[in-house]
Amino acid sequence: MLDRLTIHDLEIWSHIGVPEEERESEQRLLVTIELMFDARAAAQGDDVKKSINYHDLASDVHTLARKERQTIERFADDIARMVRRKYKSESVTVTVKKFPAIGAMVSLTISRP
């Protein structure tokens, strides 16, 4: 059985948006990352090196946010690919929330095995 690690609503600032003028200023995004992995070895040894270090993961997402993108779809997929590659999770689900000028929050959730 796998265990679940979730980072809820990580605040990210990024240049994102379809029109160029929307990308001129950084926009606030909230990112939730849920990943599945086996945490037994970390729990038994009380050893973060045998787990997924959520501080490092959050830092990696902030680094990804430095790249300008047009869509939250691309940003979510880039996060999922990085998590699968670097953290070797069994699966990952990423939700990106954006607050566009339409007066509402929009979100996208993707899952990758």
CATH number at residue 77: 3.30.1130.10
Is 21's pLDDT higher than 80?
Answer: yes
pLDDT tens, position by position, 29-51: 999 999 999 999 999 999 989 99
Distance CA 88, CA 37 (A): 8
Distance CA 95, CA 76 (A): 7
State how many domains the chain has: 1
- Which domain range does residue 87 map to? 3-112
Tokens coding 66: 């430095």
Tokens coding 69: 């993108």
Nearest to 79 by CA among 94, 68, 100, 101: 94
Q: Average pLDDT, stretch 60-77?
A: 98
pLDDT tens, position by position, 73-101: 999 999 999 999 999 999 999 999 999 87
How many alpha carbons lie under 13 Å from residue 32 in its C-beta half-sphere?
14
Tokens coding 50: 């045998």
* pTM of this structure: 0.93
If pLDDT is split at 50, 70 and 90, which confidence band does 103 have?
confident
